[in-house]
Structure 1
Amino acid sequence: MSALDKVRSPCVQVCALDENDTCIGCQRTGGEILRWTQMTNDERRDVLRKVAIREEKVSL
């Protein structure tokens, strides 16, 4: 798989974890951030779905 085929990280270079261990920049958990490079594309897509839900909750 080429680098172009990989699901890209949602990192926005605002790296700080809140009291729930969730990054305030990309909405991934600390564990998801640590495992990102080892994840398959399907696992990454699953994380991105969770990120979208977390972003909705933050914006309410």
Structure 2
Amino acid sequence: MSDQDRPANSVRTPCIQVCIVDGESGLCMGCFRRLNEVASWSKMTPEARDTVMAELPSRRSLIRPEKLAMFS
């Protein structure tokens, strides 16, 4: 669902419904959020969510590439 199709009261999320936590980094291998971020996402302020969203691309490098290859 694109942001344009999303209801106005829904929260934007990086979730791609690949919910597997990497034991080494503690990050979800689908969206690269930490478990506490996933759990509190809907309660976070928009600014806090934007901060996390900005960090997500760089977090990918914290997971070994061979693990991520499972999802390619």
Please report the TM-score for the alignment, with normalisation by the length of structure 2: 0.67
Q: Which structure has the greater CA radius of gyration? A: 2
- Number of matched residues? 56
Extract structure 1 runs of 4+ deviating beyond 2 A.
Answer: none
Q: 1:24 aligns with which of 22, 29, 44?
A: 29
Structure showing the higher helix proportion among its residues: 1
Identical columns (%): 32
Equivalent residue letter for 1:12: I
| TM-score, structure 1 as length reference | 0.79
Structure 2, unaligned runs of 5 or more: 1-7, 66-72
- Superposition deviation, residue 50 in structure 1: 1.4
